[in-house]
Amino acid sequence: MDKLRTDLSNLGEILSSIFPEDQKAKAQTYFLKKLSLKMHEFYGGKMQSIPKAGIFGFNWFNVWYTPGVSSVSTAIRDDNSLSFALSNRSNLVAVVSDGTRVLGDGDCTPAGGLGVMEGKAMLMKYLGGLDAIALCINNRDRSGRPDPGKIIDFVKMLEPSVGAVNLEDISQPNCYRVLDELRTECSIPVWHDDAQGTACVTLAGLINALKLTDKSISSVKTVLFGAGASNTTIASFLLQSGLDPDKLIIFDSKGSLHKNREDLKANPGKYKQWTLAQKTNPLRVEGIETALNGADVLIALSTPGPNTIKPEWISHMATKSIVFTCANPVPEIYPHDAQQAGAYIVATGRGDFPNQINNSCGFPGILKGALLSKATKITDKMAIRAAHALADFAEKRGISPQNIVPTMDEAEVFPHEAAEVAIQAIADGVAPSGLTYEQVFQRASQDIQNARLATQKLIQDGFIQEPPHALLQHALQETITAIKKV
């Protein structure tokens, strides 16, 4: 067996030499989970805080703290807007979660969300040049039920300390109320990445998929499987982008949405779904098989698979069909099965398959653009423009059925996205005018480059240790043993 490289670049090759094709994806998922536990234990998490200003001698403590810092406090007291210039607030994002819907694992308790929220903070720093803090809060009432009002109050109290808030992994319907109220009542951007971020990158992928299939968004028949925060926001973005509502059918766990769904009408927690039910599926198509017959596009964000979406359903879709199955950690159908069933372009939420629909290509650039432009909110138009920025970037460097969206390692995409978002913020009237595209692009590029260089310097100088190779080998051996037992 080949020695597993520290950068994991030969992982696919090693797994292919050990497992048959139908077990490889499962083995990779198992390995990554095992390795993640070992690495988090080894490093004690993945984020730390270090100063951004220098200590050039003992007296500098008197500059950064007392007595010198008194002038900063009084200046901000007299003009709160100076907090963005005199502190790190202008580049600081709070990643806030109650841990009630963590990836595909459901309610993991408030503390259980820390792994994902720290990961979000790490990506913001490395990909967007943003500082971020993971804040997992306990909003349960005495009976253990999550209270959305407590999240709203928490963010409002937190607002003076940060430049933006990224809401994450909050179960529905609470996530809708939290986002809607905070977008209205806060004077800083509040972003729900599970909803808006997923919708942005999905739209980007669909824009390029439609180009490759020579289809237009106004004419395609589209099916959304799942009606949670992600797909309801995707539906909204698609409709705002020209999708014909008469050609859109959305399914939740009880069937298709349509104007006769009285259970939605009577449920105040389903107001997003009820709004879409009144606009879409006028023929009241009921079954998923019927809905997919002749459909051009399927976007699934539902129950992790791999048998949630059946190959025979895909086989009845239109020629050159587009299939996005983005449940995590396992897609509703594996890409090779979808392609064998006739899908022309297949995307998932995973990085070990082509066409990863990954929020991480969206939120670092979007939040960077919002903060650099001093936007007070992130509008739908800003998110949709970010989607076009992602699609345009990919098209310029070349797209194919196996490569429709940028990947996280394409560092140039994030300042491009940030600049587009900033200009749209100014156009939407939620940011002051004055900045140019080039100014935002250059500042974002420099901040991102500095973050990456600083991380690499810490690695080179040994402040971030390379993981012991034995831990990688142990995770691989445990994977081999576990999968072969099955």
Task: Provide the H-helix boundaries in 280-352.
Answer: 288-292, 311-315, 335-340
| Contact indicator for 288, 252 with CB cutoff of 8 Å | no
Q: Which residues are catalytic?
A: 65, 120
- Residue 199 Cα to chain centre, angstroms: 9
Say which amino acid occupies 190: V
Tokens of 387: 């989607």
Which among 450, 383, 459 is positioned nearest to 418, based on CA atoms?
383
Q: Considering the entire predicted model, what is its pTM?
A: 0.94
Helix (H, G, I), strand (E, B) or coil at 11: helix
pLDDT attached to residue 2 = 62
Counting as low any pLDDT under 50, the low residues of the chain are: none
How many Å apart are CA 72 and CA 298, to the nearest integer? Answer: 54
Backbone angles phi, psi at 435, to 5 degrees: -75, 145
E-state strands within 265-337: 297-300, 321-325
Length of the chain: 486
For 143-155, how does the pLDDT look when each residue is reduced to its tens digit (9 = 90+)? 999 999 999 999 9
pLDDT attached to residue 22 = 82
Domains in the chain with CATH codes: 1-44+436-486 (no CATH), 75-188 (3.40.50.10380), 194-411+422-433 (3.40.50.720)
